Amino acid sequence: MTIQIGDTLPDVTFTTMTESGPEPVGNDFFAGKTVALFAVPGAFTPTCSAKHLPGFIDKADELKAKGVDAIACTSVNDVFVMGAWGKSSGAEGITMLADGNGAFAEAVGLTMDGSKFGMGTRSQRYSMLVEDGVVKQLNVEGPGEFKVSTADHMLGQL
């Protein structure tokens, strides 16, 4: 079942790359703050690298000016790939949350089958606004689309 507006995020641990190496990130990341979370099917993939992540990088200050405390990107990739993608993209202000085994994507009911492209089970493309661990906005893209999960669309929701 797909997560809905008003639902609390599932208790799933992500991993993020830090100066000290990989570190676990639990639900405390979302506690007491407003987080713009967006998910992509894969790091370094065309739309994700050319549009989705750069849009949130470019609009980070505007999102924060409208009350967003943190911006996070998740993908079913390992922490090393997510760390390298964030670094090569200049995403210093974005927390890159690796969902290496797809546990979060599965728990929120937003997986997709990327087998046709040799990618296996991945996350769908979406964005959500999360306040203190509760989903306030949810924007899930249709297959092959890139419209409602953008930073601009989220800005319009704030």
- The stretches of 2-149 forming alpha helices (DSSP H) are 46-47, 53-58, 60-65, 79-89, 103-107
Q: Which residues are catalytic?
A: 48
In degrees and rounded to multiples of 5, residue 49 shows phi and psi of -85, -30
Confidence of residue 59 (pLDDT cuts 50, 70, 90): very high
Residue type, 74: T
Q: Which residues contact 95 (CB under 8 A, 6 or more apart)?
A: 16, 25, 29, 70, 71, 72, 73
Domain range annotation of the chain: 14-157
- Give the C-alpha separation, 44 to 46, whole Å: 7
Q: Is the pLDDT of residue 72 over 90?
A: yes
Cβ atoms of 60 and 69 closer than 8 Å: no
pLDDT one-digit tens code per residue, 19-30:
999 999 999 999
- Give the C-alpha separation, 104 to 8, whole Å: 13
Q: What is the pLDDT of residue 52?
A: 87
Confidence of residue 64 (pLDDT cuts 50, 70, 90): very high
Burial (CB < 10 A; 0-12, 13-18, 19+), residue 50, is exposed
According to CATH, the topology of domain 14-157 is Glutaredoxin (3.40.30)
